[in-house]
Amino acid sequence: MTRDELILVELLGGVRSTVELATATGLSERVCRNGLHRLQGEDYVWSPARGRYRLTNRGRVIAAEIIADAEPPEASATPPEDRATEQPRRRLFGRSRE
């Protein structure tokens, strides 16, 4: 995940301080502040009090999409095919896989 995605996902839990975000994401406080500033400019995050941040409605939608994309595939998904039985395909520059 990118810096901004990490911050958005952590803010789903509610109002957080820069220190709390840095601890939870593993980023430095300076990097978190820069990310928060960028996310405020995009209207994904707002600050109800100095040093405290929370998601806007737009930010909440984006963070939920990030989590949905990051979830592992379900166990009912079909297993990958055996590559030994797979037919050779054309590759770039006309070479086929053997």
Q: Is 86 left (phi over 0), alpha (psi -120 to 50) or beta?
A: beta
pLDDT band at 32 (very low <50, low <70, confident <90, very high): very high
Instruction: Specify the pLDDT at position 82.
Output: 57
| DSSP label at residue 13 | T
Give the model's pLDDT for residue 76.
47
Structure tokens at 16: 């957080």
Checking if the pLDDT of 88 tops 80, the result is no
Q: What is the pLDDT of residues 58-83, one digit of tens each?
A: 999 999 888 887 665 554 455 555 55
Residue 79: the pLDDT is 53
Q: Which domains does the chain have, with CATH numbers?
A: 3-69 (1.10.10.10)
